[in-house]
Amino acid sequence: MIRYLAAGTLVGFAIAPGPIWFLCARQSLERGWLSGFVSGLGVATVDGLHAAIAIFGVAAAIRLAAGRATWLELEGGLVVIALGMKMAGSRVGNTRPRSPPEACWRPTWAPSD
C-alpha cells in the first residue's frame, strides 16, 4: 500500500503540479477521493470547453479572413517593412561609455543618471 502511494505521489509530482492539482489533492484529502475525482472531472470539462471555444474561434476567424487574404497579406507586409525601416534607422544600445564600477553593478536596462 505504501509503495503504491509513494509511486502515485512521484508520478503526480512528475507532471508539474499546478494550482488545479493542489485543489484536487486538497479536496481528496479533506473530503475523500470521490470529491477529488469530481473536482478533476470539472477541471477536465472546463479545459475541454476552453479548447472547443478556441478551435471554433480560430475556424471562424479563418473563414472570415478567407476572402480578405490578399489585403491581409499586403497589410502584414507593410507592417514588416515599416518595422524593418524603424529598426534600420535606430541606434543599438547605449553608446555612452560607462566607468568600470558602474558597468559592474548596474544592469543594462536600469535608467542612467
What are the backbone angles phi and psi of residue 49, rounded to the nearest 5°?
Answer: -65, -45
Are 16 and 22 in contact, with CB atoms under 8 Å apart?
Answer: no
For 59-112, how does the pLDDT look when each residue is reduced to its tens digit (9 = 90+)? 988 888 787 888 888 999 999 999 999 888 777 666 666 665 555 565 566 566
The mean pLDDT of 47-54, rounded to a whole number, is 93
Position 92 in a domain: no
The answer as to whether 78 is a domain residue is: no
Query: What would the pLDDT profile of 17-45 be if each residue is shown by its tens digit?
Result: 688 888 888 989 999 989 989 998 999 99
**Contact by Cβ (8 Å): 27, 36:** yes
Residue 7: domain span: 1-72
Structural domain contains residue 66: yes
> Which residue type occupies 66?
A
Q: Does 98 map to a domain?
A: no
Residue 21 placed within a domain: yes
- The total number of structural domains in the chain stands at 1
pTM greater than the 0.85 cutoff: no
